[in-house]
Amino acid sequence: MGEGLPYTISLILLVTLLCFALAYYIASPIHSIQSTARRVAQGDLKARVPPSVSGRFDELAALAKDFDSMVGRLDLLIQTQRNLLNSVSHELRSPLARINLSLEILKKHSVPESDDTFQRLDRDVARIDLLMGQLLTLSRLESGLSSASREEVNFAQLLEETAADSNFEAQAGDKSVTLYMKNSVILGNADSHALRSACENVIRNAVRFTQPGTDVEVVLEINRTTSEPLAFLSVRDHGPGVPEDSLQAIFQPFFRINEDAEGPRGNGLGLAIAAEAIRLHGGKIWAENLVSTGLEIKIQLPKAYEAAVHAYELSKPERSSTL
């Protein structure tokens, strides 16, 4: 019996090693497919299962190929949709310009009784022109194209100007916009036009939904809890908020919550433009419902620092290489 014990132990160890090898052989491709699925869920439609998995000769390889085919089809459909919107937006700009010119000519030869009709036409054409402009902006940002050269941007100053403009517009509806910040925040390698568009859309969206007599609070600060300082921006309104299952969907183009409900309505492009502009800068944007009432949009942007600190670092002399 004592002689058979080492043989039994060796056999158990061998079986254990074989089980571990078999488990790894099965679990490793599953983990690869799962990791790729997470990337796709985060919006990376170029993600594919590694060739080491799809090149196998088993059911998991077939699953990986089907998954890649599905993602490729989704990517093609979305790209086709974006190209269609971009083409339609470009094609409509020229007719809109001609319509505007025709309206101006007709106004000069119109009778006073037609003033109300022309005013309505002006409003409708202006809405269409705004929509086309937003579609073009969204298409450009989704393509990763910047409207200006990348440079250092005084984000605090940009935000201050945007908040002031939004506050002026909000006063017509008995609302206001207040900006809170302690330091001047600089963003490196940034597109000022894209950032301004993002801030304008987020703040104006908050102004649209906040209740009359309330204040939209805009807070800018530096987040130093991470390895790299981040610019942290939050915009809080006092509106009805958003259903929990729609907090991510509000950043999708043309998404609207309960279109049949009465209240302020937009075209569903503002937050989508903001999300693409933030993505273009490697940042994050998300929404949270406030405990009492209202919605808070939060934005994090990398390559941020305070102006005073940066100015000091730039003024420091370089060390001599001979020391």
Q: How far apart are CA 267 and CA 254, in angstroms?
A: 6
151-309 CATH fold: Heat Shock Protein 90 (3.30.565)
For the chain, what percent of residues have pLDDT higher than 90?
A: 25
Tokens found for residue 277: 């502009």
3-state DSSP percent of the chain in helix, strand and coil, to 5: 60, 15, 30
Predicted confidence at residue 318, as pLDDT, reads: 46
Q: How far apart are CA 323 and CA 312, in angstroms?
A: 23
Backbone angles phi, psi at 190, to 5 degrees: -120, 160
Q: How far apart are CA 72 and CA 32, in angstroms?
A: 17
> pLDDT tens digits for 146-193?
555 678 889 999 999 999 999 999 999 999 999 998 778 888 888 888
Tokens found for residue 210: 């906040």
Q: In angstroms, how far is the first alpha carbon of the chain from the final one? A: 76
Give the angle subtended at the CA of 229 by the CAs of 206 and 235, to the nearest 5°: 5
Residue 233 burial (CB < 10 Å; 0-12/13-18/19+)? buried
DSSP string, 124-170: HHHHHHHHHHHHHHHHHHHTT--SS--EEEEHHHHHHHHHHHHHHHH
Residues 157/159/163/169 CA torsion (nearest 10 deg): 100
Q: Contact at 8 Å (CB) between 121 and 106? A: no
- Pairing outcome for strands 176-181 and 215-223: parallel
1-145 CATH fold: Helix Hairpins (1.10.287)
Query: What average pLDDT does this structure show over 228-242?
Result: 91
Question: pLDDT: is 135 or 85 the higher one?
Answer: 135
**By mean pLDDT, which of 4-18, 197-211, 225-239 is the weakest?**
4-18
Question: For the chain, what is the total number of helices (H) and then of strands (E)?
Answer: 8, 8
Question: pLDDT: is 153 or 1 the higher one?
Answer: 153
Q: Which of 176, 189, 194 is nearest to 274 (CA)?
A: 194
Q: List the domain boundaries for the chain.
A: 1-145, 151-309
Residues 6+ apart with CB under 8 A from 106: 118
Query: What average pLDDT does this structure show over 83-101?
Result: 76
> pLDDT tens digits for 268-321?
788 998 998 898 888 999 999 998 889 999 999 988 777 655 554 444 444 443
